[in-house]
């Protein structure tokens, strides 16, 4: 067997199934089972930093996807004992070769699932704490300093980047 056939073998079957062997082994990569506790702590710290940077509203999923792609390629390269670049090339070629009658971005869908796996095993509790704090802010939004009307700065502090005002219909008030 060649390195390429080893990589492709690991990408066979329904990769969207969270119980797929490659997905399970990738979770082991993320949780430090391959490279040790330091690797897990590093992964947790990097994901928490993304949550802190993007919050829960502003592109967090895309940031996690950008983070998880090199992690999966590093895992694949480590497992296949090849270079990062070669592993990446084989993965991309494989996904491009898959039957795709609905013309979906299969690699993107797979990457999104890997990102969800990473969040689930590494920072789910932290993300829930951030979501709870965000929801609390929203619930308390009307109780800002002396019951003053909220400003755009208040909305920006909650992660809102754009507000579109829609006029009420006549007679609605």
What is the Cα–Cα distance from 23 to 28, expressed in whole angstroms?
A: 9
What pLDDT does 6 receive?
A: 96
What is the Cα–Cα distance from 70 to 18, expressed in whole angstroms?
A: 19
What pLDDT does 50 receive?
A: 94
What pLDDT does 146 receive?
A: 47
Query: What are the pLDDT tens digits along the chain (173 aa)?
Result: 799 999 999 999 999 999 999 999 999 999 999 999 999 999 999 999 999 998 887 789 999 999 999 999 999 999 999 999 999 999 999 999 998 888 889 999 999 999 999 999 999 999 889 888 877 776 666 544 445 555 666 666 666 767 666 666 665 54
Annotated domain spans of the chain:
3-157
């Amino acid at each position: 067997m060649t390195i390429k056939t080893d990589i492709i073998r690991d990408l066979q079957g329904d990769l969207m199934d969270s119980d797929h062997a490659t997905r399970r082994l990738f979770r082991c990569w993320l949780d430090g089972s391959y490279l040790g506790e330091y690797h897990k702590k590093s992964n947790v710290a990097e994901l928490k930093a993304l949550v802190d940077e993007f919050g829960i509203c502003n592109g967090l999923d895309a940031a996690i996807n950008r983070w998880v792609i090199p992690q999966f390629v590093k895992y694949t390269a480590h497992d296949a004992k090849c270079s990062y670049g070669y592993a990446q090339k084989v993965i991309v070629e494989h996904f491009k070769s898959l039957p795709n009658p609905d013309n979906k971005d299969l690699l993107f869908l797979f990457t999104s699932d890997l990102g969800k796996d990473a969040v689930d095993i590494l920072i789910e509790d932290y993300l829930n704490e951030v979501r709870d704090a965000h929801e609390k802010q929203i619930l308390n939004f009307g109780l800002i300093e002396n019951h003053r009307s909220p400003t755009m700065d208040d909305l920006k502090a909650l992660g809102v980047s754009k507000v579109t005002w829609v006029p009420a219909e006549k007679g609605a008030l």
